């Protein structure tokens, strides 16, 4: 069952509505990068995706010829899910089951244990943690390999939280015969060591943890509710004896605790205001929302050599900006298009399955097929006969006017963006602060001083380059060294672009926009809450940003500061 809050005021009607879902099986976990892109996981390996209009079953719930649930790995129950701003997600469940969603498909990942897993969490630096029975705690490394952390405690972990100081807080419980029941346990993992947190008051089995008002809100069996801050644990008043199973933090700063028998609780005096605060006065913005011919996610935007702007996205979406607005071009295929490039010899589109298509003005033709399940994420070219493409697992391709060939990159990490100054100066950015530099002969790896994933890179010269990434990471190269610049953001920055006429701009999750003014990065309202995946600063001075749900924003040249 999935319930959705309707925003109806008290007494004005039903505040919660039951959504139509294609299963009757219990659902245990829910996550999504935006309200119109949700994933639910549950019993019998059920995975459902919500596209903003309806729910679709992706996997699980396999039935045999006799109408019974089949004994297969796909039916392994799933109990938790978490993801990152890039749209990747991980779901965990019984028998050490770990599934990874790469934004397109689900894949099983090799797990070093068969213990039942009950919690998963994505850290800001890109690390993923999972936890479960028998004190099991797992860590996913940069190469996608899961390893076990040596926890000397036998706790059955149900919840996992990554704290601001990069430590972990784990919660759960064990059955103690001498105490005649389950007892809750809190464990901290810090600097490579596990420490059981002890308190005078015994706790029941703990079910969920969430960061809340400078501390941690904790829920458990029998309606128990706690607040942890600076290693002080306070029990909060609760008017329920039902088991509390999860916590939902709200944009208002409040939280919901949910549990058995339809329990919904909040500490706010006004329940409706806690969930949906009164709309604030609209903040003036220089950005405007443009009419979009699609509701599909848009991954990229590009200005061609003739000044025409194109956008691309899911299910073969390619859009062209004409005098009267954006119009859809024929789809190259049904596969997602993540990037575009035009150096004057036709429009290239690339994305899923390592395929590159070329548009002659009327029709698309398959120009290259990698024959591997790798996604091309970015392209850049110095001239019509020299175009580069990068993507998953360190993929780098080069087109020399005759054909495409794969280049050695020296890494298996994903490469998310590519920028070049000329044929002998290119940069590609990727996981854990990775930057690859090309000198016209070979690619060499170096770091910019951050472990955050880097999603975008752009420069106006070899002595003025900016890279952006996870949790507001922003690094600048002045020709001699890289320096991290504080942004004080939690939102991920996913793209950066600039031009002399438009200035320099970075965009990211939750409609985040940063602009460089007089040497300082400043946030400005976009009027949009959806994720912005790509930005393009045109030679004419306009700024365009595209993202989730077919969102297209424009900032006019008249609005740019001098």
Contact status, residue 493 vs residue 474, Cβ threshold 8 Å: yes
Please give the angle made by the CA atoms of 555, 561 and 562, to the nearest 5 degrees: 135
The H or E element containing residue 274 is: helix 271-275
Three-class DSSP category at 264? strand
Structure tokens at 187: 């464990």
Closest listed residue to residue 230, CA positions, set 284, 185, 183, 188: 188
Q: What is the pLDDT of residue 278?
A: 61
Q: Are 511 and 483 in contact (CB under 8 A)?
A: no
Backbone angles phi, psi at 274, to 5 degrees: -65, -40
Contacts of 371 (CB under 8 A, 6+ apart): 354
Query: What is the Cα–Cα distance from 194 to 216, expressed in whole angstroms?
Result: 18
3-state secondary structure of 350: strand
d(CA 250, CA 260): 20
Q: How many residues does the chain have?
A: 562
Phi and psi angles of residue 471, each rounded to the nearest 5 degrees, phi first: 50, 45
**How do residues 196-254 score in pLDDT, each as one tens digit?**
999 988 899 999 999 988 899 999 999 999 999 988 999 988 888 999 999 988 877 88
Q: What are phi and psi of 315, to 5 degrees?
A: 55, 40
CA distance 99 to 375: 19
Q: Which two tokens stand for residue 353?
A: 């399955």
In sequence order, the 6+-apart residues with CB closer than 8 A to the CB of 214 are 229
Taking CA atoms, 162 is separated from 168, 216, 419, in Å, by: 5, 11, 33
Predicted structure pTM score: 0.61
477 beta partners: 465, 482
For 522-540, give one letter per residue: b (16+ CB within 10 A) or e. eebebebebbbbbbbbbee
What gap in Å lies between CA 271 and CA 266, rounded to an integer? 7
According to CATH, the topology of domain 287-559 is Methylamine Dehydrogenase; Chain H (2.130.10)
Beta-carbon-side half-sphere exposure of residue 520 (alpha carbons within 13 Å): 5
Instruction: Give me the sheet containing 215-220, strands edge to edge.
Output: 206-212, 215-220, 225-229, 232-235
pLDDT for residue 558: 62
Location of structure tokens 């749900």: 549
User: In this structure, are residues 217 and 183 in contact, taking their beta carbons and an 8 Å threshold?
Assistant: no
Beta bridge partners of 506: 496, 514
pLDDT for the residue 561? 43
Phi and psi at 118, nearest 5°, equal: -130, -5
Residues 6+ apart with CB under 8 A from 262: none
Q: What is the CA radius of gyration of the chain?
A: 25
Question: Residue 159 CB: number of other CB atoms within 10 A?
Answer: 24
Report helix, strand or coil for 390.
strand
Q: How far apart are CA 400 and CA 386, in angstroms?
A: 5
Phi, psi torsion values for 248, nearest 5 degrees? -120, 115
DSSP state of 69: B
Strand-by-strand arrangement of the 376-383 sheet: 376-383, 386-391, 396-399, 404-406
Cα torsion for 137, 143, 145, 146, to the nearest 10°?
Answer: 10
Q: What is the pLDDT of residue 562?
A: 36
Cα distances from 554 to residues 192, 305, 504, in angstroms, run: 47, 20, 14
Beta bridge partners of 117: 132
Structural contact between residues 227 and 236, judged by C-beta atoms closer than 8 angstroms: yes
CA dihedral 454, 456, 460, 462 (to 10 degrees): 40
Q: How far apart are CA 101 and CA 82, in angstroms?
A: 10
User: Could you tell me how far CA 147 lies from the centroid of its own chain?
Assistant: 22
Confidence at residue 101, expressed as pLDDT on a 0 to 100 scale: 95
What pLDDT, in 10s, does the model give residues 86-133?
789 999 999 999 999 988 899 999 999 999 999 999 987 788 999 999
Low-confidence ranges of the chain (pLDDT < 50): 560-562
Helix (H, G, I), strand (E, B) or coil at 284: coil
Provide the pLDDT for residue 559: 58
């Amino acid at each position: 069952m999935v319930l959705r809050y309707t925003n109806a005021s008290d007494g004005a009607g039903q505040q919660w509505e039951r959504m139509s879902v294609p299963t009757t099986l219990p659902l245990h976990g829910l996550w999504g990068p935006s309200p119109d892109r949700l994933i639910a996981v549950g019993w019998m390996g059920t995975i459902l995706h919500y596209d903003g209009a309806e729910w679709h079953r992706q996997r699980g719930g396999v039935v045999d010829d006799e109408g019974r649930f089949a004994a297969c790995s796909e039916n392994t129950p799933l109990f938790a899910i978490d993801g990152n701003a890039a749209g990747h997600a991980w779901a965990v469940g019984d028998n050490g089951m770990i599934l990874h969603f790469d934004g397109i498909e689900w894949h099983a990942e090799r797990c070093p244990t068969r213990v039942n897993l009950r919690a998963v969490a994505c850290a800001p630096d890109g690390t993923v943690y999972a936890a479960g029975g028998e004190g099991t705690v797992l860590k996913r490394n940069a190469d996608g390999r899961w390893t076990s952390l040596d926890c000397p405690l036998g706790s059955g972990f149900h919840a996992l939280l990554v704290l601001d100081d990069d430590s972990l807080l784990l919660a759960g419980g064990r059955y103690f015969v001498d105490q005649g029941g389950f007892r809750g346990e809190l464990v901290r993992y810090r600097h490579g060591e596990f420490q059981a947190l002890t308190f005078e008051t015994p706790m029941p089995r703990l079910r969920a943890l969430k960061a809340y008002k400078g501390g941690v809100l904790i829920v458990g069996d029998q309606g128990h509710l706690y607040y942890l801050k600076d290693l002080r644990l306070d029990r909060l008043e609760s008017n329920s004896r039902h088991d509390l199973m999860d916590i939902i933090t709200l944009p208002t700063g409040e939280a919901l605790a949910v549990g058995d028998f339809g329990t919904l609780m909040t500490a706010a005096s006004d329940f409706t205001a806690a969930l949906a605060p009164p709309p604030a006065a609209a903040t003036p913005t220089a950005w405007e929302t443009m009419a979009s011919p699609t509701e599909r996610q848009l991954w990229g935007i590009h200005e061609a050599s003739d000044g025409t702007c194109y956008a691309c996205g899911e299910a073969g979406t390619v859009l062209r900006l004409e005098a009267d607005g954006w119009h859809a071009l024929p789809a190259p295929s049904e596969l997602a298009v993540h990037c575009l490039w035009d150096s004057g010899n036709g429009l290239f589109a690339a994305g899923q399955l390592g395929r590159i298509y070329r548009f002659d003005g009327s029709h698309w033709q398959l120009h290259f097929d990698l024959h591997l399940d790798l996604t091309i994420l970015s392209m850049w070219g110095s001239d019509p006969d020299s175009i580069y493409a990068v993507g998953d697992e360190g993929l780098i391709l080069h087109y020399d006017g005759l054909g495409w060939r794969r280049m050695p990159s020296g890494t298996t990490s994903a490469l998310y963006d590519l920028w070049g100054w000329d044929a002998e100066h290119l940069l590609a950015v990727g996981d854990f602060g990775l930057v690859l530099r090309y000198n016209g002969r070979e690619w060499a790896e170096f770091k910019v001083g951050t472990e955050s994933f880097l999603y975008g890179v752009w420069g106006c010269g070899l002595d003025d380059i900016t890279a952006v990434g996870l949790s507001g990471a922003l690094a600048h190269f002045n020709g001699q060294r890289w320096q991290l610049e504080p942004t004080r953001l939690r939102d991920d920055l996913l793209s950066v672009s600039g031009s002399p006429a438009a200035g320099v701009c970075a965009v990211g999750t939750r409609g985040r926009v940063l602009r460089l003014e007089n040497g300082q990065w400043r946030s400005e309202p976009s009027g949009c809450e959806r994720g912005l995946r790509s930005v393009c600063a045109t030679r004419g001075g306009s700024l365009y940003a595209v993202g989730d749900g077919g969102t297209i924003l424009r900032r006019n040249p008249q609005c740019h500061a001098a």
